[in-house]
Every structure is written in C-alpha cells, then in structure tokens.
Amino acid sequence: MKSGVIAKLKIRRIHNLLNEDVEELHDESKKEGYNLIDKLINGFKSGENKFSKKGECLIVCEIDNKIVGICGLNIDPLNPRRGRIRRLYVLPPYRDKGVGRELVKELIHYSNKHFKSVSVNTGNLNVSEFYEELGFKKYDKENGITHLLINKQPNENRQEE
C-alpha cells in the first residue's frame, strides 16, 4: 500500500498559505491537540513567518488534488547558516505511508542548495526514529535542537559556516 500512495503523491512548493485549502489539516491537527497549523496560518497573516527568506521553503503533499501533508524549512534561529525543518503535519489516514518521509526528503534536497546542515526539534520523542532513518543524528548540544543532519553535497551558493 505504501508504494501505491507514493506513486500518487505530488510535492508542491507554496508561496502563500492563505491561498491554499488547508482547512482539513487545520481541523485535524486541532483535534489532536497540535497548534502547528494555527502557527503557520498566523505567521502568514502577521508576516512574521512566510517561509520567504533566502533558503526557506514551504511545501505540501497532495494526493488526488487534496493536501494531505505540509512541512517547511526556515533559517534556524540559533544558527543562520543552518536550515530548520518546521511544522511537519500529515493527516492521520496518510501516516506511515511515506508522505512525511517524502516531504522531509524534499526539504533535505532543497536545503543542500542553501545550508551546510539541517536541524529539527521534534517536540515529540515518538518521531525521533523517523528522523534518524532519514540520516539525522541525535543532537543535544544546543537548546531547541533534537536532531541534526549535515548536508553532504557541496554547493557554492549555500551559506558558509
């Protein structure tokens, strides 16, 4: 079943979250007690975080023209030479089918053009293994980072440490 879902999914960059149909993501995340979609929407409304700085990116995963997942890459607030994976959310029926993995893999690939490394703060220890399977290493040297991935592909355009 996993490969069938992956074959149908489409990853797409978005530039204005407010023009996208994320109502189901918003409703489901709130039912689960998560406020990350609220934070995304409020960040776009206020202009505080539109994932629009150099190197930043916000993407969605669509299956049959329905947004089933979202994830973003910001400049890490602790180190501007590092990207930070933010706001990963996948609708419950699409979990464990490769949607989250494809979103994060796409952002890792994108980050190679801009950053030497990528961090994440899982906020949920149950997803540590997910990030470790994607190459992230546990990291507890700085406040707010649970995992770190060193990008392997050199690129002359990315920010130097």
Q: What is the mean pLDDT of residues 53-64?
A: 96
pLDDT digits (tens, 9 = 90+) for 80-132: 999 999 999 999 999 999 999 999 999 999 999 999 999 999 877 678 899 99
Residue 103: predicted pLDDT: 98
pLDDT on residue 92 = 97
Token pair listed for 81? 């030479």
The residue range of the domain holding 116 is 2-13+53-150
Q: What percent of the chain has pLDDT over 70?
A: 88
Domain count, the chain: 1
Residue 154: band (very low, low, confident or very high) from pLDDT cuts 50, 70, 90: low
User: For 47, left (φ over 0), alpha (ψ -120 to 50), or beta?
Assistant: left
What amino acid is encoded at 29 in this protein? S
**How many other C-beta atoms lie within 10 A of the C-beta of residue 78?**
13
pLDDT band for position 153 (50/70/90)? low
- Order of strands across the sheet that contains 82-90: 9-14, 57-63, 66-75, 82-90, 117-120, 147-150, 137-138
pLDDT band at 133 (very low <50, low <70, confident <90, very high): very high
Structure tokens at 57: 């990116």
Least confident range from 31-45, 48-62, 142-156: namely 142-156
Report H helices in the chain. 2-8, 23-31, 36-46, 99-111, 128-133
Task: For residue 11, name the pLDDT band (cuts at 50, 70, 90).
Answer: very high
**What does the pLDDT read at residue 76?**
92
Instruction: Look up the CATH number of the domain holding residue 133.
Output: 3.40.630.30
pTM recorded for the entire structure:
0.90
Whether residue 74 is contained in a domain is answered as yes
- How big is the chain by its Cα radius of gyration, in Å? 15
CA 112 – CA 120 distance, rounded (Å):
15
Does residue 36 lie in a domain region? no
Q: At what angle do helices 36-46 and 23-31 cross, to 10 degrees?
A: 130
